[in-house]
Structure 1
Amino acid sequence: MALSFRQSEILDLARSEGRVVVEALAERFNVTVQTIRRDLSELADAGMLDRVHGGAVIRSGMSNIGYEQRRRLNEDAKAAIARACAQAIPNNSSLFLNLGTSTEAVARELLNHRNITVVTNNMNVANILVGNESCEIMVAGGLLRRSDGGLVGDLAAQIIEQFKVDYAIIGTSALDEDGDLLDFDLQEVRVSKAIIRQSRRCFLVTDASKLSRSAPARIASLREIDMLFIDQPLPQALASKCAEWDTKVVVAG
């Protein structure tokens, strides 16, 4: 498909922000909403976007989008989520942080916490927390995933299983309507499962774009999560399930 200049810009916006909205695009390009809807439909037909109510998102697939692209997606939302999560973590506590740009945002918000111990399989988290001299950092060994600095696989899971911490802070690649946390890498999923088992309380940090994505491997259910930090209210059906499961939802922003 040969893209028009406008369609190329729309696709770039969707890649950088995760989602585009019909009305905002119509105003940006000074065209009608019907014109934008046609653009989005053509991009969806070409397999580049998925249509959602009011707009479109980058098409989900069987592989994750690149780390640098993920790092730039929804940065303001991730920062607000991270601030809210960090406020729920007391000084003098121990915690796990797993892979993901959302957990890296939390690490930045922990730089002023005192006397914390962090166990992580995320090299980026470890490098961020070097700036907190009051933080003891333990890095789980394992297979280094060069694309994002993640340590995954059996060895990483075995090391995680040697600890029992106060809090786990985890991210996810997708969150489906059943309340299941999903990911793309089975080796990463094994580590995340170990992290959940070995923590007294588990917090999920994720922006609302994950509600529009899918991935093939299941990590856990929101039933196993104590608190969910997100930037937008959940769909009513999922919010009702969280209430039934005693999973507290914190909308940050």
Structure 2
Amino acid sequence: MLNQPRLEEIMRFLSQQKRVKAADLATQLVVSEETIRRDFKYLEELGKLRRVHGGAILPRLNEEQPLQVRNRIRTQAKAKIAECASGLVQEGMALFLDTGTTTLALAHQLTSFSQLRVVTNSLDIAQLLTQQSDNHVLVTPGDVRRNDNALIGPHTLEFARQFHYDIAFMGIGAVDLKLGLMDYEESEAMLRRTLVVHCVRSVVLADDGKFGHRTFINTLPFDAIATLVTNRPLSADYMDRLEQAHVDIVHP
């Protein structure tokens, strides 16, 4: 079992030194390196640190972690969200899926469909749906962002505006009680602002780790979206705030 005092010690060392080595922590805490690596994995899944070769570092503030790192974080939560979100989809719909690990998890669920029209700015989502389903897939143009294979920029926005979607599924960087939906980069925020006015139903996918955090950009107020899908019941404060904004809340 994971030892909470040891986890707190690891985070204390990390907050002081910004980077720690598994071997050094094993010596200081009198445990094996395998135990420390297991602790690192657990803390990374909570978004507390980022594993690197031989050790761990603190995530940078106001900077989203690379896709390969985010894919290891809150995987069960994202799977629950994807399953709930797929229940909103019917054959024949036109969908937009923006880039992100939760929308990628949703794309896995959508491989069971065969008659969807999916537009995406994610090369990973496009490849998955093309190779594993018979759905029709359109990929936006744009500049390739290397850390997550996303297509971004003015050409992406121009292409997205050409269509009207039954549902636009969007990830988000953070959900703040006062400021609403927030992002790390302006390119993502601009795309999401575009999508909400070109769809019948705008759906934000956000795991419970996104709530109570702030990032750099105010993307959308709560009342700009129709539905929020998450992996567990929300606190009373968030429930009240979203209900005031007339947002449908979906969770397992």
Normalised to the residue count of structure 1, the TM-score between the two structures is: 0.79
3-state DSSP of counterpart to 2:232: coil
Find the aligned partners of 2:165 and 2:186 in 1 and give their Cα distance: 23
Tell me the C-alpha RMSD between the 2 structures: 2.2
Between 1:146-155 and 1:232-241, the stretch displaced more is 232-241
Q: In structure 2, list runs of 5 or more residues that go unmatched.
A: 1-15, 30-34, 50-56
**Map of 1:188 onto structure 2:** 188
**Map of 1:207 onto structure 2:** 207
**Map of 2:240 onto structure 1:** 240
**Map of 1:28 onto structure 2:** none
1:86-235 paired onto structure 2 within 5 Å? 86-178=86-178, 180-235=180-235
Query: Given that residues 179 and 218 in structure 2 are in contact (C-alpha distance below 8 angstroms), is that contact kept between their aligned partners in structure 1?
Result: no
Find the aligned partners of 1:60 and 1:215 in 2 and give their Cα distance: 11
C-alpha displacement at 1:133, in angstroms? 4.2
Instruction: Rate the CA distance shift 1:248–1:60 in 2: closer, same or farther, 3 A.
Output: farther
C-alpha displacement at 1:109, in angstroms? 0.3
3-state DSSP of counterpart to 2:168: strand
Find the aligned partners of 2:36 and 2:176 in 1 and give their Cα distance: 29
Q: In structure 1, list runs of 5 or more residues that go unmatched.
A: 21-46, 49-58
Query: Given that residues 99 and 171 in structure 1 are in contact (C-alpha distance below 8 angstroms), is that contact kept between their aligned partners in structure 2?
Result: yes
1:133-191 deviation line (CA, Å, top 9, x unaligned): 43111111011101101001111001101111110000011111226111111122212
Number of aligned residues: 216
Query: In structure 2, which of residues 46, 59, 74 is the aligned counterpart of residue 17 of structure 1?
Result: 46
C-alpha displacement at 1:62, in angstroms? 1.8
Query: Given that residues 174 and 212 in structure 1 are in contact (C-alpha distance below 8 angstroms), is that contact kept between their aligned partners in structure 2?
Result: yes
Find the aligned partners of 2:242 and 2:232 in 1 and give their Cα distance: 15
2:46 partner amino acid: E
Instruction: Rate the CA distance shift 1:234–1:99 in 2: closer, same or farther, 3 A.
Output: same
C-alpha displacement at 1:102, in angstroms? 0.3
1:76 partner amino acid: Q
Find the aligned partners of 1:132 and 1:8 in 2 and give their Cα distance: 38
Query: Given that residues 95 and 117 in structure 1 are in contact (C-alpha distance below 8 angstroms), is that contact kept between their aligned partners in structure 2?
Result: yes
C-alpha displacement at 1:18, in angstroms? 2.4
1:63-102 deviation line (CA, Å, top 9, x unaligned): 1112111011111111111011001111111010001000
C-alpha displacement at 1:11, in angstroms? 4.6
Find the aligned partners of 2:76 and 2:115 in 1 and give their Cα distance: 28
Find the aligned partners of 2:70 and 2:123 in 1 and give their Cα distance: 16
Find the aligned partners of 2:105 and 2:159 in 1 and give their Cα distance: 24
Find the aligned partners of 2:109 and 2:45 in 1 and give their Cα distance: 23
Find the aligned partners of 2:239 and 2:152 in 1 and give their Cα distance: 31
Moved over 2 A (4+): 1-13, 16-20, 131-134
1:76 aligns with 2:105: no
3-state DSSP of counterpart to 2:118: strand
Query: Given that residues 154 and 190 in structure 1 are in contact (C-alpha distance below 8 angstroms), is that contact kept between their aligned partners in structure 2?
Result: no
Find the aligned partners of 2:205 and 2:244 in 1 and give their Cα distance: 20
Normalised to the residue count of structure 2, the TM-score between the two structures is: 0.79
